[in-house]
Structure 1
């Protein structure tokens, strides 16, 4: 896929920039999960503790980003699309899927607690990897299709309204 050469308005550019920041965190999370898979012994437990911290912080940042999309951008785009269009429904479904994987990771990690063993660290880390896989595809769809669509579809007034919503 070739990169879009659309110049985005400030609120859409903000969402793009947030993707860049979130991807850096995703790369770090992925590296830690790879290390957990390759290492053994006490290192795995230390790595898992680091993974838990990273995923917790990432989850909070992702939720803030998703809220801007779900409460601002998505409803605005939905008003322009036909009643039978499933674009926004699909985007929201992908948000839910990624959030569920992260929630499963955090829940299982908390259940395991400080007594977590190597095996548990390995299988619980898989939830984080599943979330990253979902988000990687999701971000690509938003950047290649949804954001350019919004840029072309939304009026200047709507973009300004979106900007104001994002400042709150």
Structure 2
């Protein structure tokens, strides 16, 4: 297998864990916040999709392109289900993003680097390679799949593993 194939397979695995947490939930359950956290499963799926799209735009065109698509959205709305949003719709959107991501990865040079956007959490002048960007997307997806697993267990006891 190639490195790109491995990265795509690992990202698909982590996406699968996240999607598993949403199995057989109603929209109301997917939007619920059964823990002290403000996170909900639908909101996590929505957030992870947005983050994946943002970082893939970065891989293609750098920091300037990265923030395209976030205009007019506030931070909280990126993490919750809004009126009119459905779990099925969010999962369809996430699948569409996965398809686009895999097509983009096929075209990337993993060694290409871009300067990171200016932000207090990035060192000044730092750059990330496309390889590191993909590893970051995998880690972000995995972390949020774990959050979703805790939320799902709080809803009805279902666990992704175990």
Question: TM-score over 0.5 for the alignment?
Answer: no
TM-score band, normalised by shorter chain: 0.3 to 0.5
Which has more radius of gyration?
Answer: 1
TM-score, normalised with respect to structure 2: 0.41
Greater helix content: 1
